[in-house]
Structure 1
């Protein structure tokens, strides 16, 4: 049982690393011009996005930003749509963005 668990854990951790690395490549290909990981650029940082949005919202914003912007109540949106992004790229990018979610941050009262 212990060997099975270790094997499962190894595969899971390896998959996370692969997604993170491929997510970084997707980020550098499509997003770097407007977004940075932790600092505000033309668009919000991935840290800010990850702290406010879930995976489904992030994927929707990437594939159809015009519609999602209306739902979020934004008056304008300069982000282009990436409807042709491959599903694997979208998953990897989403996981990469969410990896910047601040951990153990105390909430302000």
Structure 2
């Protein structure tokens, strides 16, 4: 019984620590095309945050090919990223943190 409690106590912090921050997701998947304040290949996070809601950003991440016309773009070159729900939520929060900057 004590062994199970100890395993549980040590496992919980490991599970929590494995969830990526928005900055980590950005550095892994987004930095090649997006920067925080300046336009790169894609729009900056501050531009995206000033125009889009949480739901719109997540929808675009989930399926950019079906969303680009709704956003007023002539085409999209953004690839469909295979992010977990938590990664998608983290990067969306990170993008929105640049609203008004």
Task: Decide: shared fold, TM above 0.5.
Answer: yes
1:73 is displaced (CA, Å) by: 2.8
Aligned to 1:95: 93
**Structure number with larger C-alpha Rg:** 2
Deviations 1:42-96 (A, max 9, x none): 00000000000000000011110011002223211111111x2100101110000
SS at match of 1:101: coil
TM-score using structure 2 length = 0.77
| Runs of 4+ deviating beyond 6 Å | none
* In 1: Cα distance, 2:95 partner to 2:83 partner: 16
In terms of fraction of residues, the more helix-rich structure is 1
The alignment status of 1:86 with 2:84, answered yes or no, reads yes
Q: Alpha carbon RMSD of aligned pairs, Å?
A: 1.6
Aligned to 2:62: 63
In the alignment of these two chains, the number of paired residues is 83
Gaps (5+ residues) in structure 2? 1-16
